[in-house]
Amino acid sequence: MLRNQKEELQALQDTLYFIGGKWRLPIINSICNGNRRFREIERSIPGITTRMLSKELKEMEMNKLVKRTVYTDTPVLVEYEPTEYCRSFGNIITEMINWGKKHKKIVIQK
Amino acid sequence: MLRNQKEELQALQDTLYFIGGKWRLPIINSICNGNRRFREIERSIPGITTRMLSKELKEMEMNKLVKRTVYTDTPVLVEYEPTEYCRSFGNIITEMINWGKKHKKIVIQK
């Protein structure tokens, strides 16, 4: 089995860099789970601040992870939708959820 | 499809918490790829500092992610081996490598 370890490490580090801090994947998860409005997303992620969510959503819009739509009714409605790119994190998120469930006891002990 | 979204988010956040910063997964990957000695691991991960690797390996030993063996020959030889627990990150790492390879162009553009 000859794998290119250097290339793999680079790919791993690119992904980690892109995921960044602790909030991006929970936000992606929330939006992919059907939450569309700012307050919905905020409520679905305990511990996130309004400021952090706002900052992340702006970056995610720039990176084409979410599509932001403004409905100019009264009151104005803003919705965030996941792009295909956003959904490309599905496998990573699934594996992380699996790991977290399996190792719940271990993590709690710490 | 009725999933427990709250439980899933908790599992996701536990995993993210456990993975912590940007170095733990590359170190796990390196050790699981067969690197055993401190300098080998260090050389396999561009950008990591001696201090950071030392700190991470200590934490990983405490968390039973690696087994540290000291061979008291002359010169003293220290080896790090992956535990089963360490290998439990395999799927997450694989998915991250897949994502990184697939989205190489996008990440580079940023």
User: pLDDT tens digit string along B93-105?
Assistant: 999 999 999 988 6
State residue B78 phi and psi, 5-degree precision.
Answer: -115, 130
Burial class (CB in 10 A: 0-12, 13-18, 19+), B87: middle
Terminus-to-terminus CA distance in chain B, angstroms? 37
Q: How high does pLDDT run on average in chain B?
A: 90
ipTM: 0.88
CATH number of B15-104: 1.10.10.10
Distance CA A85, CA A60 (A): 11
User: pLDDT tens digit string along B45-76?
Assistant: 999 999 999 999 999 999 999 999 999 888 88
User: pLDDT tens digit string along A12-67?
Assistant: 999 999 898 899 999 999 999 999 999 999 999 999 999 999 999 999 999 999 99
B94 contacts A1 by C-beta, under 8 angstroms: no
Distance CA B32, CA B40 (A): 12
Nearest-Cα residue of chain B relative to residue A33: B5
Question: Closest Cα to residue A56, out of A75, A41, A46?
Answer: A41
- Contacts B9 to A, Cβ<8 Å: 26, 29-30, 44-45
**Partner A contacted by B95 (CB < 8 A):** yes
**Partner B contacted by A22 (CB < 8 A):** yes
CB contact under 8 A, A26 and B33: no
Residue ranges of domains in chain A = 19-109
Q: Is the pLDDT of residue B81 over 80?
A: yes
B15 contacts A96 by C-beta, under 8 angstroms: yes
- Does domain A19-109 correspond to CATH entry 1.10.10.10? yes
